[in-house]
Chains A and B, each alone.
Chain A
Amino acid sequence: MPNAILDPTGTVTTSAAQPAAARAPRRASLNGARVGLLINTKTNARPFLDEVGRLLTERYGVTVTRRTKTNFAVPEPEDIIKEMAQESDVVVTGVGDCGSCSAAAAADGVVLEAAGVPVAVIVTDSFRATADAMASLRGAPGYRYAVTAHPVAVLAEDQVKARAAQVLDHVVALLTQPGNAGE
């Protein structure tokens, strides 16, 4: 009998892979919500998310807390996720505008969702493939996120604010509309 050709691929073996990650129930409204901003430190991510926070405060009277990712390239450590889940009713994170940070943003979103927090992940349109792949890998195929045009890093201050305003309705919808929980 001839020898079989051996398979060189691995299987998903560590805890990062979830068979099916639960998604958080959406909030009926953002009125008075505690919004956590998880800023991934990429150029213009801070002013982008700050503006989202400012607009949400203006519109819904939310309170905003900011956290800076310890390493934009990889998913946030478990203890930080736990703290964020306690201190925030919803989370907005981004901007995923590179190979590793777009995947990490999607992973943070899925993990926070499983901890019960609705999340709006923001990535640039060049990185849909890697965000989708990471969401699938983490047990959330079809996970919905907000998209803004690439690039973001080169935008001037007023352009960043305009982008934040453009994406705001989608961010609100992601956090409040039941369909975005993936049911």
Chain B
Amino acid sequence: MTADNAVGAAAAAPTPAPTLASAAPDPDEAQRAIEYCYEQGWSDGLPLVPASKPLVDQFLATTDKDPGEIIGSLEQVGRDCTVYLAAVNAAMAGCRPEYFPVVLAAFEALMRERAARGGGFQSTSGPAPLIVVNGPVRQQLGFNTAGGAFGPGFRPNMTIPRAIGLMVRNAFGIHPHVFEQATQGVPGRWSICIAENEEESPWEPLAANGGAGGGVSAVSATLTRTMEFVDNRHAPNPEDVLRDFQDTISRIGSQIFPKSAVALVLCPEHAQMFASAGLSKADVQNWLLERSGRTVGEFRRAGKAEVTSRRFGPPGAAGAGHDDGPPRADEEFHPILNGPQSIPIVVAGAKNAAISMVVRIFGEWSGTSVPVGEKK
């Protein structure tokens, strides 16, 4: 490089105009604060928003709850999460203060899950919370209720589940490779928050199924073990499409207990097709409930005979503790779903293709939804 070239290059570089009291924050200071948060071990791997008292106070101002109130406990590790810790973690996750009542409702809904209290966050499955938001709060806070329901792209949908993940990490102390023993984990962990597409759903919202009533802002949550598409945009007959769902639900791969549960995140097109044929949510659930499963022989040939065994497994599981009786015949059908409550249905995404998701639930949905608290 010649001296002339060097001079030319320097001249071509844009020189920022000096500003008087610039409105933009100091990026160097921001970076130092972000690095500080990493150094403390607080981060999930992505940058955190450094939380200050004035910021956290704005979160706390959105709720009537006392900052010291315990909103969830993990007895096995002796840790509690308070409203205050929830606020700090929500701030760090990038939530806006006005999201905080939804964070609190989502956490309450998740902690109603037996699996979440009972070791789910430590599990080798590495389950991901599925959070579903209903009601006017979706528009008030700017949730995505349309295409790309599983994200990313929208601040409340992304930061609220991240806040829950940070609460588990920081408030409960469940760190990867220590108490968190996920073998691979579920893609999308701590980033799945669906705002139901109530506007294009032919049915009552999930929160109504969860007892919170229709038209109410409420949050439902469960833990999921994995998920898979049903892409069926060709069949004009609803029964054919239901059979396609039945086939995906009945896959053996993720089955480890005699019974399991699935959530259906139906695209508007599938939901409307079923509804036009006169099917309610309950009709869809009951149709799949009867037919989802495989024969004992199919389980055996996949190396999963134990799943259908009468002497199977943990207490509470169907058939636990009974090791008497003759072996089950190969041709006997083994249904895998427990009841309508084990098939919650949500309508989400764009009405632009007939693509829906079968979401495998870790344990079983509590069947309850939590209204979003309003400050009185």
Which A residues contact B (CB, under 8 angstroms)?
Answer: 3-10, 12-17, 41, 43, 68, 70-75, 98-104, 107, 127, 129-130, 133-134, 137
CB-CB under 8 A from B177, the residues of chain A are: 129
Q: Is the CB of A14 within 8 A of B123?
A: no
How many residue pairs bridge A and B at CB < 8 Å? Answer: 127
CA distance A5 to B33 in the complex (A): 8
Q: Is the CB of A99 within 8 A of B173?
A: no
B181 located at the interface, meaning its Cβ lies under 8 Å from any Cβ of chain A in the complex: yes
Q: Is the CB of A100 within 8 A of B53?
A: no
Stretch at the interface among B79-87, B211-219, B346-354: B79-87
Asked, given contacts A3-B53, A71-B314, whether A8 binds B80 with beta carbons under 8 Å apart, the answer is: no
Shortest CB-to-CB span from A150 to chain B, Å, is 11
CA distance A12 to B76 in the complex (A): 11
**Chain B residue, CB-CB nearest to A9:** B170
Q: Can you list 15 contacts pairing A with B, beta carbon distance less than 8 Å?
A: A3-B54, A5-B33, A7-B42, A10-B79, A10-B173, A41-B313, A43-B306, A71-B314, A74-B118, A99-B119, A99-B181, A100-B123, A101-B119, A104-B76, A130-B178
Which B residues contact A (CB, under 8 angstroms)?
Answer: 33, 36-37, 40, 42, 50-54, 56, 73, 75-82, 85, 88-89, 91-92, 118-120, 122-124, 166, 170-173, 177-182, 306, 313-315
Q: Is the CB of A8 within 8 A of B172?
A: no
Q: Is the CB of A68 within 8 A of B78?
A: no
Q: Which of A3, A14, A15, A99 contacts B122 (CB 8 A)?
A: A99
Q: Is the CB of B171 within 8 A of A4?
A: no
Q: Is the CB of A8 within 8 A of B85?
A: yes
CB-CB under 8 A from B92, the residues of chain A are: 8
Asked, given contacts A74-B75, A103-B76, A107-B76, whether A10 binds B170 with beta carbons under 8 Å apart, the answer is: yes
